[in-house]
Structure 1
Amino acid sequence: MAERNDISDLLAFIGREGDWRERLQEVVAEHLIPALEAFEIDHDGLIDLLGEQWSGVLWGCGFEDFLSCRYEDGNIVDLYLKRRGWKETALNRDYFAALRDTPVSLYEVSDVQPGASMLLRDLLTDAEPVTVREKSASRTLKQWDRIAVRVVAQRDHHVISGALLPFGAEMVEFLFEGLRDALKLKKRDTLRLSRDQLLGCAPVFTAAWLFTEIDRALAPAEIQFTNSDGDDVLFHDLRFPLASGVTQKAVAERLDRVKVFEPEGSKFWNWLALRKGKGGKAGGGLMLDTQMEGATVLGTLELKGKALLVNVNSATRAAMVEVLVTEACGGLLNRPLTTIRTVEQMRGESRDGEARHSDDEIPPEIARELMQEHLDRHYLETLDAPVPALGGKSPRAAVRTAAGRKKVVEWLKYLENGSARHAGGPIAEYDFGWMWEELGLKELRK
């Protein structure tokens, strides 16, 4: 890898050739200037925003594009190999020639073998997936990640070029819009590009990454947490003190009569939505709700000591459950005391609790087993529950149509990719294979 990536002599050659040096600068500028001008920042400002590590990668995007450019007096790779190729190793000569003719494209990552290889599927052409040998990137990339890079044929195998940009979902949409604009394609047209089209659109890939990343760096989006009713999440803990002389048993008997309070033991209830599968109203944020037998869990109730403790995740639900409990229990309970906490406060309490109880941590193997069991139950119920990403349909219902199957595949990849990024935790090891099989999509998990 190190020998193949040695471009020092090529760079020195370009630096001595005035016209070619200026042409390289022009191509690199074509990749960077649109975003810099749009956000009114200079190169130093870009480094301050994104970090020094991206400066070289972004320059590399322009440099690799420059190697493929053909001018009236030729191509820089052809000229270099003609004049100085005798000084290069055979591996370098082959690599430069292949890189000259290889366009950048958007690839989906799978079958990652850390430190060895990964399978890349081109999302913009009909080319067959290809396994690339790669030591560095394969240690950090996860299943279903998407990357913009050049896949270069190297004798009996394939490698990737040095300029690699990771593409999140928002960047992918920005890229697709940019490619359609550049090629004057309609939204309904299939986005399938030829080699020449990809070679001509290289700056669009860099621009899509830069516009999205700079925007995110300048105004980091706060994650919006909502519940399935569309309410902003604010955790409400209601503590109803038992009236003088009242027993837990008397309160439990009243709560058992409430249709929407599903008992789980003698002192604990789940407050369930009246209609199974209620929800799916959350917008672009993260939805914090759980499902139980296909119904949304709106809150929990627990008798503890001399009080009934109720936990819900919004002000609206707090008001609703207070009415339900008061109507059911009447004078058995006194008026509640309410504590309100944000998601960040809950996170802080969780971290503090972990620090205080570090000596009592669950053994990793037990934590892993518990996590697997929890995820099995959760995702089994999710298969029959409405999913916002599927237009409010359940996965089982969505796969009944061709368009729905495509959405479910993307949803499964999103789940699997998110899980894989929890490095070192039990969730990272979860195998989603059974879900693909359960939904009849096993052959598409590639």
Structure 2
Amino acid sequence: MQEGHDLDGLIRFSQRDEAWRERLASVLDEHLLPAMEEFDLDFEDLEELLGEQVPWTLWGCAFEDFLSRGWEPGGQNIIDVYLKRRGWSEKALNRAYIEGLRDAHVSLHEVSDVKPGASMKLRDLLTGAAPVTVREKSATRSLKQWDRIAVRIVPVRDHHVISGGLLPFSQEATDLLFEGMRDVLRLRKSQELRLTEEQLRDCAPLFSSAWLFTELPRVLEPQAPQLANTDGEDLLFHELRFPFAKGVLQSQVAAALRKVTGLEPAGAKFWNWLAPKSRSKKGQTQRKGSGLAFGTFTESGTVLGTVELKGKALILEVNSKERALRGEVLIKDATGDLLRPPLTKIQTVEQIMREREDQPDEDFDGTDEVPPEIARQVTLEYLDRHYRETLDQPLPALDGKTPRKAVRSAAGRTKVVEWLKYLENASAKNIGSPMADYDFGWMWDELGLGDKRQ
């Protein structure tokens, strides 16, 4: 509990009177009961499922809602009653916090300008109010740029702090919350979601519900993330081994491969199979929100697969069934009768991972370990090249447009801003990796969006 944030006296006071106990219980039901009934759980089950602290954070969200409400008769508020009877026992700073909490409303905020252990800036996504800088120690050590949190901003004398009931919101939870609010307010999807402070007070239980209805399915029915390549195709690793026909030499196959458009030499016996420079929208069908997209990139473009000559065979390696079919046609058309039909080995991501785990590392002596500063430099240089190429690539998140083209319209600029925030936020969460230190500022500036990053 931070200095000036002690609610113990208020909590004890709320438990002494039966009427206040019943009112608090009714508010707790509004926040927790829909999810508890849907998933057939008790409050005690939440600790086992979500961790020791989470249930009490949710309790705190409901308690803060209870503190801000007016009750009949006469719209009486428990904080007013408490301060009238017991206010003399509170220190001045804590009393100022309690008074601020009474008048505060919960909302969904976007985090920026994080100064770990000191402060952060919060932008209210639901009221459109100007960003507010809050003093905060513990939360700023874990929150990252563009995180979204449901919390109350509390004015305390000459500064602002946040309340104890803080819930981190994923994109899925955000979408569910917004959908629920549109239903409550009877808004169409095309209408901007803007709420008054009074409407947010009325909608406070929706924040807990949206969070629970997102998090509980993850722990009750965990699913592996859907993995796809840059074309949106499920990851399934294929190795096609084409044996040489009788009497065929490597030099003959190599000569045939050198004539193939899209095969770029990467060694004496190795080629990268590259995607065409101008990919159509049809080739950019990655499913929005379907999971993680994996790809390999070179300065020449996206790598669809690799081709290698080994002994008396040509090896084609790709990461999807669709690319395997297209690659087989490509190789057959290029080599004709030089190769026999391929033998195919197929592996899932899980099988690949198990193979790597089973590989002995007894021969490793550490002599080939890359110094951390060199690894960091190499990673950042790679990210620079990758993201510079990405600015000219059609992206599913931008409706098949490149970032440079998307920013030419107002709607496109909005989508590019959200895309950049997603990239920056995901990168910042790779704690301990050079990716966490990557500065995306140049991308915002190059796309003319530097003012949107404030």
Equivalent residue number for residue 276 of structure 1: 278
Counterpart residue number, 1:299: 305
Superposed CA offset, 1:193-229 (max 9, x none)? 1111111111111111111112222222332223344
Offset at 1:176? 0.8
1:226 to 221, 225, 228: 228
Whole-angstrom CA distance in 2 between matches of 1:82 and 1:35: 36
Superposition deviation, residue 275 in structure 1: 5.8
| Higher alpha-carbon deviation: 393-402 or 289-298 | 289-298
The correspondence for 1:150, drawn from 149, 152, 156, is: 152
In the alignment, the residues of structure 2 paired with residue 302 and residue 439 of structure 1 have an alpha-carbon distance, to the nearest angstrom, of 39
- Which TM-score applies when normalising by structure 2? 0.92
How many residues matched? 446
Select between 224-233 and 100-109 the one with higher mean Cα deviation.
Answer: 224-233
Measured in 2, the distance between the counterparts of 1:296 and 1:268 equals: 16
Residue aligning to 1:217: 219
- Give the whole-Å Cα distance in 2 for the aligned partners of 1:102 and 1:352: 55
CA contact (8 A) 1:292 1:381 kept: no
Structure 2 Cα separation of the partners of residues 358 and 377 of structure 1: 32
Match 2:177 to one of 170, 175, 178: 175
Call closer, same or farther: CA 1:184–1:317 in 2, change over 3 Å: closer
1:131 counterpart SS class: strand
* Runs (5+) with no aligned partner, structure 1: none
Partner of 2:53, secondary structure, is helix
SS in 1 for 2:416: helix
| Distance of aligned partners of 1:113 and 1:257 in 2 relative to their CA distance in 1, 3 Å threshold | same
Q: Is the 8 A contact 2:299 2:385 kept in 1?
A: no
- What residue ranges of structure 2 are gaps of 5+ in the alignment? none
In 1, distance between residues paired with 2:2 and 2:298?
54
Counterpart position of 1:114: 116
Q: Paired residue for 1:23?
A: 23
Aligned residue in 1 for 2:426: 418
> What pairs up with 1:338-417 in 2 under 5 angstroms?
338-350=344-356, 357=364, 359=366, 360-417=368-425
Relative distance call for 1:388 and 1:290 in structure 2 (3 A) is farther
Misfit runs of 4+, over 6 Å: none
Residues of 1 paired with 2:166 and 2:173: CA distance? 14
Question: Partners of 2:140 and 2:365 in 1: how far apart?
Answer: 33
SS of aligned partner of 1:120: strand
- Counterpart position of 2:202: 200
Give the alignment partner of residue 103 of structure 1, picking from 102, 105, 109: 105
Partner SS state of residue 193, structure 2:
coil
* Offset from partner CA, 1:269-322 (integer Å, 9 cap, x none): 221234622422121233333455675422111234554332101223223323
Q: Distance in 1 between matches of 2:377 and 2:343?
A: 37
| Deviations 1:112-140, CA, capped at 9 Å, x for gaps | 11122111111111221111111111111
**Aligned Cα root-mean-square deviation (Å):** 2.2
User: Alignment partner for residue 447 of structure 2, among 421, 431, 439?
Assistant: 439
Offset of residue 358 of structure 1: 7.2
Q: Determine the structure 1 residue equivalent to 2:186.
A: 184
Can you list the C-alpha shifts for 1:316-358, whole angstroms capped at 9, x where unaligned?
A: 3223323322332345445444322112223344555696647
Call closer, same or farther: CA 1:230–1:422 in 2, change over 3 Å.
closer
Secondary structure of the structure 1 residue equivalent to 2:100: helix
Partner of 1:289: 295
Instruction: Please give the secondary structure, in 1, of the residue aligned with 2:238.
Output: strand
TM-score by length of 1: 0.94
In structure 1, the partner of 2:260 is 258
Matched AA of 2:113: D
CA distance in 2, matches of 1:187, 1:387: 23
In structure 2, the partner of 1:319 is 325
**Displacement of 1:54 after TM fit?**
1.0
Distance 1:199 1:375, change over 3 A: same
- My pick for the range that moved more, 182-191 or 30-39, is 182-191
What is the Cα deviation at residue 251 of structure 1? 2.4
Which segment drifts farther, 235-244 or 310-319?
235-244
The one-letter code sitting in structure 1 at the alignment partner of 2:263 is F
Q: Assess if the C-alpha contact under 8 Å between 1:276 and 1:294 holds in 2.
A: no
The answer to whether the aligner puts 1:308 opposite 2:314 as a matched pair is yes
- Please give the alpha-carbon distance, in whole angstroms, between the structure 1 residues aligned to 2:124 and 2:45: 33
CA deviations on 1:367-399 (whole Å, 9 max, x unpaired) are: 111111111111111111111111111111110
Aligned-residue sequence identity (percent) comes to: 60
